[in-house]
Amino acid sequence: MKYCRPRLNFSGGWLLAILAAITATPVIAETANFGTFTLSTNSDPAQGTVQGFTGGSYSLSATSNRDRDQKACIGFADPNPDHIMVLEKDFPQMTIQVDSNGNDTTLLIQGPDQTTIRCGDDTGKNKDASVSDRNWKSGTYRIWVGTFNPGVKRDYTLKVEQQ
């Protein structure tokens, strides 16, 4: 009995198909620049306070031009989210506020379904961004803190408060 070894042909076809499938699959960032935090309805308020810094040149409008309330998504950040927030329960009302000592910051928050987007810019007369909204479903949220201009480095504190 003669054994025939199959020949592998690496030219063209199947390699191109694999590359096309990989590039067509949406990439979901599972890591964040400054880590993950988890909140439940009885969380200590300190657990909803995290720190980081801005500095990217990725346009947040490339993720979404407008959020679910038709607010413009603007600013520049790192392509990876700055924070990942895990909500263990639904929250009827929540505010996410950036404190960078009044510098011009922006926010983009992507919900667990990847399609619910919330964006924020100035808060009243303050240039720091915030998002105050209703119906926060349990799950994993990706949060980007940006600046109005690309590549600007600003230290900030991000505070999440349930109402």
List of domains in the chain: 36-162 (2.60.120.380)
The pLDDT tens digits for 13-57 are 433 333 333 333 334 446 899 999 999 877 666 568 999 999 999
What Cα–Cα distance (Å) separates residue 77 from each residue in 22, 31, 152, 160? 25, 15, 9, 19
CA 64, CA 58: separation in Å to the nearest integer? Answer: 12
| Residue 66 DSSP label | B
3-state secondary structure at position 2: coil
Residue 44 pLDDT: 64
| Residue 71 DSSP label | -
CA 115, CA 91: separation in Å to the nearest integer? Answer: 18
Residue 1 pLDDT: 52
Query: CB–CB of 36/158 below 8 Å?
Result: no
Q: For residue 47, which phi and psi values (nearest 5 degrees)? A: -70, -20
Mean pLDDT of 132-155: 96
Residue 134 pLDDT: 95
3-state secondary structure at position 73: coil
CA 67, CA 131: separation in Å to the nearest integer? Answer: 11
The pLDDT tens digits for 75-101 are 999 999 999 999 999 999 999 999 999
Residues in the chain: 163
Which neighbouring-strand residues pair with 162? 94
| Residue 84 DSSP label | E
